[in-house]
């Protein structure tokens, strides 16, 4: 039976044409902004652009020149680098508060990842010029970036470990812990808005198996399952959760 294809997505206005200035609420959700002094913040705010991204829409593609440093304000994005080889090599979720691409922005290279919205999201962008301007003068900003890079390194190492684990419950637990990482993703705060379907996609398990694993983790009192999301009750416990009882 030939699969029924969904309608092709309507031709979208390019993302940069849909960008607008951020509102106060959105600025609230940009963690590094609060570390800047008044003058720097003014420059940053003037440069920041915000755009709504529909589910499945591509924010940036491998190989395109870098124009912005991006951060998630709302929603959920995924990052992968599977453009030319069939298998995704790294596959990370980006919850609100997560900023990414600093590595490539610093080197003024081309993007090395595809970033797509797992559901409709609001994304902020800071231009490369302003990024470097801040990098050249603000120590708190540099501190944020350094921390970001360091944490990302830890994420990559953790991702390799998770990939090697055979126990599905443990994989789900560790992946949740990674998504909740408070330093890298300060915006999540207790409740992770992600469906079990999305988690399955992210972790590489069926939705059914994710559901089982989540229920097991709930039994252990590590998380609470909610409609359309997961509440993390014991982040340390999740991180340490290695095998089923």
Partner DNA sequence: ACATTAAATTCGA
Partner DNA sequence: TCGAATTTAATGT
Which residues form the interface with DNA (CB under 7 A)? 119, 195-197, 207-208, 211-212, 214-215, 225-229
Nearer to DNA, 138 or 196 (CB): 196
Nearer to DNA, 2 or 17 (CB): 2
Distance CA 216, CA 210 (A): 10
Q: How far is the CB of 55 from DNA (least distance, A)?
A: 9
Question: Taking Cα atoms as reference points, which of 40, 232, 63, 243 lies closest to residue 135?
Answer: 40
Q: How far is the CB of 229 from DNA (least distance, A)?
A: 6
Burial degree of 10 (CB within 10 A; 0-12, 13-18, 19+): exposed
Nearer to DNA, 155 or 195 (CB): 195
Q: How far is the CB of 94 from DNA (least distance, A)?
A: 17
H-helix or E-strand containing 192?
Answer: strand 191-192
Q: How far is the CB of 48 from DNA (least distance, A)?
A: 27
Nearer to DNA, 197 or 243 (CB): 197
Residues 6+ apart with CB under 8 A from 93: 76, 77, 78, 79, 118, 179, 194, 198, 202
Q: How far is the CB of 128 from DNA (least distance, A)?
A: 34
Question: Taking Cα atoms as reference points, which of 123, 114, 107, 105 lies closest to residue 51?
Answer: 123
Residue 186's SS3 state is: coil
Nearer to DNA, 126 or 176 (CB): 176
Beta partners for 123? 51, 72
């Amino acid at each position: 039976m030939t699969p029924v294809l969904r309608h092709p997505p309507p031709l979208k206005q390019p993302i940069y044409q849909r960008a607008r200035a951020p509102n106060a609420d959105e600025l609230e959700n940009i963690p590094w902004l609060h570390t800047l002094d008044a003058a720097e913040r003014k420059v940053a705010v003037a440069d920041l652009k915000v755009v709504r991204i529909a589910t499945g829409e591509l924010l940036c593609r491998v190989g395109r020149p870098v124009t912005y440093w991006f951060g998630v304000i709302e929603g959920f994005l995924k990052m992968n680098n599977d453009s030319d080889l069939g298998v995704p090599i790294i596959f990370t979720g980006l919850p609100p508060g997560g900023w990414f691409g600093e590595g490539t922005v610093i080197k003024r290279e081309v993007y090395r990842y595809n970033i797509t919205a797992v559901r409709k999201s609001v994304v902020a962008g800071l231009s490369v010029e302003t990024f470097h301007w801040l990098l050249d003068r603000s120590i708190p900003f540099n501190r944020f970036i350094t921390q970001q890079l360091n944490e990302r390194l830890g994420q990559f190492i953790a991702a390799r470990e998770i990939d090697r684990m055979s126990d599905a419950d443990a994989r789900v637990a560790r992946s949740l812990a990674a998504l909740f990482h408070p330093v890298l993703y300060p915006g999540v705060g207790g409740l992770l808005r992600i469906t079990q379907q999305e988690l399955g996609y992210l972790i590489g398990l069926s939705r059914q198996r994710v559901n089982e694993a989540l229920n097991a983790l709930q039994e252990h009192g590590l998380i609470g399952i909610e409609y359309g999301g997961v509440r993390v009750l014991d982040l340390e416990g999740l991180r340490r959760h290695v095998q089923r009882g």
